[in-house]
């Protein structure tokens, strides 16, 4: 029996949680489920085996019957808030993106039975302060697949996904793309950059400022996609992904998934990207330096959490990488597709269960 705490929602943490649960279920491991968040929101997971929600709901309804502090607890969440625990032995799976762990973050990580990070970058940083840190990578989502469809004929289609943030260089990417390919009918940029923590009016205003109040016929902004099957269609429709230009990531699911589907991703060679992206499967961009992560929204200076810098890139290196991607995108990314077999959620769970089994 494992005490499991994690969110079920359409965001990155929810997607990781559902895929971990899928793998735990396949091993017939009983769990006592203690949710993070109010709802068990499975609406986005329209390709998911219906037995998985039943399994989790049953585990949720019986959680107090099976509550035992001696059972190991697996928590999938931020460092912030993970000082809370269900049992005496808690194994935290978390993401960390920046480069300056605070004393509060170190304390929380140190006080877990084990803290498991999604990237070597994070694991190495925290291992300087604690000996209970591990690295376990994520995997390819089995609900994603190659549709075999033809989408935009005679166009090279770029994609940009993920929440609009300074950390992800969202506005910078859109601005520089527009300078290079704006209103050129041979190229299309589709952006799925909704941020549920920001008002629509604010997002629209920020985009307008980045584009100098100009409107480009070949830049498309999608509303939030409610189903993972819709996200799969978007990933299949693009030729080149730009999401990997984020300045700091704990894994970067959209860029990784696009690469696994045989797309060419332009990737900043830093943080978690180094765990899966290389010259054979991605177009790498070397960082030009670092800038403060602070945006007074998600990263606030002098906060007890999320302090430090993100990696930046130059305009020239970005343009060069896009031009290289355009040259490559007529052929399928074979080495990218091989990542599907190298990184799986089954392997992730096997490694996590090994850590849980071997800890006292």
Say whether pLDDT at 38 is over 90.
no
Length of the chain: 360
The dihedral sign for the CA sequence 311, 162, 244, 341 = positive
User: Mean pLDDT score of the chain, rounded to an integer?
Assistant: 96
Per-residue confidence (pLDDT) for residue 39, from 0 to 100: 76
Between 198 and 350, name the one with better pLDDT.
350
Say whether pLDDT at 86 is over 60.
yes
Instruction: Tell me the β-bridge partners of 157.
Output: 188
Distances (CA, A) of 35 to 31, 45, 47, 86, 303: 12, 17, 22, 11, 26
Whole-angstrom Cα distance, residue 326 to residue 153? 15
The predicted model gives 265-273 an average pLDDT of 98
- Cβ atoms 115, 126 nearer than 8 A: yes
Every domain of the chain with CATH number 3.40.50.2000 lies at: 2-139+344-358, 156-342
Whole-angstrom Cα distance, residue 99 to residue 299? 13
Q: State the residue for tokens 């392997």.
A: 347
Dihedral (C-alpha) 163, 164, 166, 170: value to the nearest 10 degrees?
110
- The three-state secondary structure class of 228 is helix
The dihedral sign for the CA sequence 194, 169, 115, 284 = positive
Within 8 A by CB and 6+ apart from 150, the residues are: none
Per-residue confidence (pLDDT) for residue 358, from 0 to 100: 65
Per-residue confidence (pLDDT) for residue 359, from 0 to 100: 58
Say whether pLDDT at 159 is over 80.
yes
Share of residues in the chain with pLDDT > 70 (%): 99
Per CATH, the homologous superfamily of domain 2-139+344-358 is: Glycogen Phosphorylase B; (3.40.50.2000)
Tally of CA atoms within 13 A in the half-sphere of 102 that contains its CB: 17
Whole-angstrom Cα distance, residue 236 to residue 145? 8
Distances (CA, A) of 115 to 12, 16, 208, 227: 19, 16, 41, 31
Whole-angstrom Cα distance, residue 101 to residue 69? 29
Whole-angstrom Cα distance, residue 91 to residue 111? 10
Q: Which CATH class is domain 156-342?
A: alpha beta
Measured in degrees and rounded to the nearest 5, phi and psi for residue 56 equal: -70, -40
Residue pLDDT, tens place only, 104-117:
999 999 999 999 99
Whole-angstrom Cα distance, residue 124 to residue 203? 35
Say whether pLDDT at 180 is over 60.
yes
* pLDDT band at 37; cut points 50, 70, 90: confident
């Amino acid at each position: 029996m494992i005490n499991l705490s994690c969110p079920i929602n359409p965001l990155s943490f929810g997607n990781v949680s559902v895929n971990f649960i899928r793998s735990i279920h396949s091993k017939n491991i009983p769990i006592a489920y203690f949710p993070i968040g109010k709802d068990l929101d499975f609406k986005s997971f329209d390709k998911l085996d219906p037995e998985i929600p039943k399994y989790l709901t049953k585990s949720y309804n019986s959680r107090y019957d099976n509550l035992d502090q001696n059972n190991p607890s697996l928590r999938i969440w931020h460092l912030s808030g993970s000082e809370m625990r269900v049992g005496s032995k808690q194994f935290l799976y978390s993401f960390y993106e920046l480069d300056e762990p605070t004393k509060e973050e170190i304390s929380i990580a140190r006080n877990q039975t084990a803290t498991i990070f999604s990237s070597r970058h994070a694991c190495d940083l925290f291992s300087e302060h604690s000996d209970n840190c591990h690295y376990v990578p994520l995997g390819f989502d089995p609900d994603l697949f190659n549709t075999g469809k033809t989408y935009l004929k005679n166009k090279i289609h770029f994609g940009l996904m993920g929440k609009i943030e300074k950390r992800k260089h969202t506005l910078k990417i859109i601005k520089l793309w527009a300078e290079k390919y704006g209103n050129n009918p041979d190229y299309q940029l589709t952006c799925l950059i909704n941020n549920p923590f920001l008002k629509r009016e604010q997002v629209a205003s920020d985009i307008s400022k980045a584009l100098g109040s100009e409107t480009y016929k070949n830049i498309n902004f999608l509303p939030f996609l409610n189903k993972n099957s819709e996200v799969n269609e978007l990933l299949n429709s693009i030729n080149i992904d730009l999401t990997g230009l984020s300045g700091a990531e704990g894994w970067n699911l959209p860029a990784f998934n696009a690469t696994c589907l045989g797309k060419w991703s332009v990737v900043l060679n830093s943080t978690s990207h180094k765990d899966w992206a290389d010259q054979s499967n991605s177009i790498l961009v070397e960082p030009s330096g670092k800038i403060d992560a602070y945006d007074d929204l998600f990263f606030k200076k002098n906060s007890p959490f999320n302090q430090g810098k993100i990696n930046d890139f130059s305009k020239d290196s970005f343009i060069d990488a896009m031009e290289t991607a355009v040259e490559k995108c007529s052929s399928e990314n074979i080495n990218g597709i091989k990542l599907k077999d190298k990184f799986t959620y089954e392997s992730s769970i096997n490694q996590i269960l090994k850590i849980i089994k071997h800890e006292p």
